[in-house]
Structure 1
Amino acid sequence: MRQHLIATQNGTDLLLYFHGSQQSARVARRFTNRSFEHIQATVVYPEGVHRHWNDSRKTLPERTRELGTDDVSYIQDLIAHIPHERVFAAGYSNGAQMIIRLLHDAPGLLAGAALIAGTMPTPENFLSTAQGWIPTPILTMHGTEDPIAPFDGGSAGSRGAHRSFTDSNLYFVQHNGLMPKPRHTRRQGFDVYDWAGEAPVQAWVLNGVGHHVPTTRPVASPFLGPASTHFVAAEAIAQFFGLGFSLDGAGGQTR
């Protein structure tokens, strides 16, 4: 039986946080310093099969792909059983790739999506299609020093080829029907690009950061590369989604 962890119930909107490869709901909470639980929403951590999501990359040598896990239907069913007004999703790495699948295979399911350390697969490495795409607000974040999912695109090892961070954002901009020239600002020491519209795209270039979800207490790991200690990704994501962000948190329960 699939499990999910309800961490907070602080609002009428639902925020799903999708963990990365080899993680679980509890690991994801520690990895993000529980920062997403400060967002004023019902925050839920779903769990992938064998600690992975069956995302839309053709190259995914994991047990969940071998099993043919239908994670799109699982998420749709999970959402149907949790009271909500709107559904937002944030995901890291393999979790970001799962959100990319939801945007393509279940268009309109999400009111907003945040992708951290996960870029679009190249066309030859992509299982889904943009047929039926529904413009959706999308925020992206990616470290320039990411050793696992290269910022400039190319091979991500056993996960196949990916577009660059720049090309991934242009893909979302095009499909959301936005003008190609963004507004550039500097926030928290990072370059931020905004494409305005009914379904905006916002891209954070995390200069000098590796394969991390930025928090003030990042997990130290040479495998993931350098981390930022002055920026909380969850707060920027909450602001983009139009959700409140409070320092008051709550416990969680697994179901």
Structure 2
Amino acid sequence: MLSRGRDRLVATYILLNVDLNAPAPVILSFHGNNKSMDYQAKLSRLTEPDINNDTIAVFPEGLAAGDPFPPEKCWEGAPYCNTGVSDKAFITDLPAYMQNNFCIDIDRVYAFGKSIGGGFVDVLACSRRHDGDFAACAPAKALTPILELHGTEDTIAKYDGGISHGTNTPSIRKVLSTWATRNGCGPSPVPAIDELQSNGVYYTQYDCRGRESLVVGYNVTGQGHTWTSTMPNDENKGNTAPIDATTIMMEFFRANPRPPVVVPTGVGQ
């Protein structure tokens, strides 16, 4: 598609069960650092009918960054991403492109990503007008349900926070509490559920403003910087997790039809 005078790559998958004559929900899925839209489609399994049977899956592709880092496909907002274009503008243009080419439900546009793809989704969630400073988060006034999945042994987007790619990053627990605060749960929100489950997954849930599970986190004990999956993939090399990220996200999306849900699943890489 053409965005602000530049051709951008987008892979769109419409599964057989999607009714082309009725407005369909859309999921945007963003790849990690130096990966591709095809890689993300395979990793997320969002094109498999047993995972997704009613939603148009869209996989945008990032551009290669310039100096000072080697050219790698990335997303705007990462400390090493310098492409000279606005990915926020690109994603702002994408719904109009989808409306012109497909029958979509504009009130059910969801997003998730791997690694910096998840970090970019966090940027989008902070960008009400899609033209502000990255340092200032101005989320929409409507509630923004947030789901975060992570590994406690992630050495790139560190679970306890720290320096990554020369930038100091917050802990994952801080990310969750910050989004609870942004959603109006109070200046020092307390989770409704915060426990280590029997399967080794640390589960955190914030409820507020009449909404249960407004901000949710799943942190898998022992998992590194890999896609959370019960199936072997190119990243986990057979070391599967007790939970499946895409299945959980699909359930989360369906439980939060309005306003549009924006979901980061990791920051950095």
TM-score bin, normalised by smaller chain: 0.7 to 0.9
Return the alpha-carbon distance in structure 2 between the equivalents of residues 30 and 228 of structure 1: 16
Task: Point out where structure 2 has 5 or more consecutive residues left out of the alignment.
Answer: 1-6, 65-72, 99-103, 256-269
- What's the CA shift string for 1:124-152, capped at 9, x where partnerless? xx933123543300001110010211110
- From 212, 220, 238, the equivalent of 2:250 is 238
1:172 is matched with 179
Match for 1:100: what amino acid? Answer: D
CA RMSD of aligned residues (A): 2.7
Task: Point out where structure 1 has 5 or more consecutive residues left out of the alignment.
Answer: 109-125, 244-255
Return the alpha-carbon distance in structure 2 between the equivalents of residues 33 and 177 of structure 1: 34
Return the alpha-carbon distance in structure 1 between the equivalents of residues 199 and 97 of structure 2: 38
Q: Which aligned pairs between 1:55-70 and structure 2 lie closer than 5 A?
A: 55=77, 57=78, 60-62=79-81, 65=82, 67-70=83-86
Match for 1:181: what amino acid? Answer: V
Q: Which aligned pairs between 1:1-255 and structure 2 lie closer than 5 A?
A: 1-9=7-15, 10=18, 12-34=24-46, 38-39=51-52, 40-50=54-64, 51-55=73-77, 57=78, 60-62=79-81, 65=82, 67-82=83-98, 83-85=104-106, 86-106=108-128, 127-131=134-138, 133-134=140-141, 135-158=143-166, 160-178=167-185, 180-182=189-191, 183-184=193-194, 186=197, 188-197=199-208, 198=211, 200-219=214-233, 227-242=239-254
Shift in alpha-carbon separation, 1:129–1:227, aligned structure 2, 3 A: farther
Q: Does the 8 A contact of 1:210 with 1:225 survive in 2?
A: no
SS in 2 for 1:196: strand
Pairwise CA distance, 1:242:
1.6
SS in 1 for 2:35: coil
Pairwise CA distance, 1:88:
0.6
Match for 1:165: what amino acid? Answer: I
SS in 1 for 2:227: coil
Shift in alpha-carbon separation, 1:195–1:15, aligned structure 2, 3 A: same
Match for 2:30: what amino acid? Answer: F
Q: Does the 8 A contact of 1:152 with 1:163 survive in 2?
A: yes
Pairwise CA distance, 1:227:
4.2
Return the alpha-carbon distance in structure 2 between the equivalents of residues 107 and 189 of structure 1: 39
- Length-normalised TM-score, structure 2: 0.72
Return the alpha-carbon distance in structure 2 between the equivalents of residues 36 and 52 of structure 1: 25
Return the structure number with greater helix share.
1
- What's the CA shift string for 1:37-96, capped at 9, x where partnerless? 6233111101111221112x4xx223xx1x322111111111122122411101111101
Match for 1:68: what amino acid? Answer: G
2:70 is matched with none
Q: Does the 8 A contact of 2:147 with 2:216 survive in 1?
A: yes
Q: Does the 8 A contact of 2:11 with 2:58 survive in 1?
A: yes
Match for 1:53: what amino acid? Answer: W
Q: Does the 8 A contact of 2:231 with 2:238 survive in 1?
A: no
Pairwise CA distance, 1:215:
1.8
Q: Does the 8 A contact of 2:128 with 2:138 survive in 1?
A: no
Match for 1:200: what amino acid? Answer: L
Q: How many residues align?
A: 218
SS in 1 for 2:228: coil
SS in 1 for 2:74: coil
1:119 is matched with none
Q: Does the 8 A contact of 1:104 with 1:128 survive in 2?
A: no
